[in-house]
Structure 1
């Protein structure tokens, strides 16, 4: 108890500068990210191969999606042209 009554004892600050809080939080986050980076180390060869395989599969899926969209667009256009041709021939028969 006598320790807290000394004039040079530490006291808790009630107010802290907001800039100081931001700075301290930023330092903590930087330290945390650096610690995670140190813990990871070098990626394994299997992980690198899996990553490349995922990229390769993703590219193929993207290409096939584009191809399917183009095919669907062309099919819709062909059907539209066919329908318009039929309507024009029907119109010529109905309204001379």
Structure 2
């Protein structure tokens, strides 16, 4: 059978111990986290100020948006109430029950 093998083929490696695989993976992750911690710089005062300013601006925009929406909804309710009152008044004036009474009560026109 050795003659059938290709000259540069890979040979199968025995399976590793699962605990050793877990240990090696943990070591790799620890090494990776330590490298990231070393590469990070301490945030500058300017960055901290800018981030606080962004938060403050975001809060103000959120409050402004809420106030605008509250004003719009209040205006809608006011307009809706006004329109409904006008419609009720018009219905009372030109409603079918009122119309028949007004025609009967009016004297006929004589020329």
TM-score by length of 2: 0.62
The count of aligned residue pairs is 85
Gaps of 5+ in 1: 1-10
2 CA distance for matches of 1:75 and 1:20?
A: 70
| Structure of greater Rg | 2
Gaps of 5+ in 2: 1-11, 99-111
1 CA distance for matches of 2:81 and 2:60?
A: 32
1:85 is the counterpart of 2:85: yes
How far does the alpha carbon of each residue in 1:20-45 deviate from its partner, in whole angstroms, 9 at most, with x for none?
A: 76765565345323322221131011
TM-score by length of 1: 0.70
Judged with a 3 Å threshold, the aligned counterparts in structure 2 of structure 1 residues 88 and 51 are, in CA distance, closer, same or farther, namely same
1:1-96 to structure 2, matched below 5 A, reads: 12-13=13-14, 17=18, 25=25, 27-95=27-95, 96=98
1 CA distance for matches of 2:77 and 2:20?
A: 64
Residue 12 of structure 1 aligns to a residue whose secondary structure is coil
Query: Which residue does the alignment assign to 1:4?
Result: none
CA RMSD of aligned residues (A): 2.5
Structure 1 or 2: more helix by fraction: 1
